[in-house]
Chain A
Amino acid sequence: DVVMTQSPLSLPVTLGQPASISCRSSQSLVYSDGDTYLNWFQQRPGQSPRRLIYKVSKRDSGVPDRFSGSGSGTDFTLKISRVEAEDVGVYYCMQGTRWPRTFGQGTKVEIK
């Protein structure tokens, strides 16, 4: 199975400041069709996960543009340009290229 490794696991941030989360996969996530199926999910306290980013950098409908995804191959990043209070929660990367799907351990974002 593909192992997804996130860092850091805890991220205290100041309101209005940027934040960045890294996700590395144990194998390339480039699929045979040429696309890379790397997703980012946000889970706010007490809520179901919500997908923010798919195919590395495509934002889901309704996701604020302060969220952006980048990367290629085995190395990916989620960036929040200016953290807001509503961004508190746990962020997960998940690969959708190989079966079974696998998640990173999660990164807890909190306000300093």
Chain B
Amino acid sequence: EIVLTQSPATLSLSPGERATLSCRASQSVSSDLAWYQQKPGQAPRLLIYDASNRATGIPARFSASGSGTDFTLTISGLEPEDFAVYYCQHRNDWPPIFTFGPGTKVDIK
């Protein structure tokens, strides 16, 4: 079973700063990774699929990279609406089983 670890658990930054979030898999997951944003009281919102592809309507300040075991989500210039919890998620090839990381909270410094 693949385990996803996210770091840091909490990231305290100011608006306008750059956020760098990490997701590490316990074994190689190729590029089978997605990233979500979740704000309090709201459903998760898909940001990134296939490790680096922005989903529909996602601003260009969100970018992601990585393959194998190490992945990064970068927010270049935090907007007030970006303060939220971010989850990475892996999809097993077959059967289709999905695993989430524990999340990184980005809060206002």
* Mutual binders A and B: no
**Chain B positions near chain A (C-beta within 8 angstroms):** none
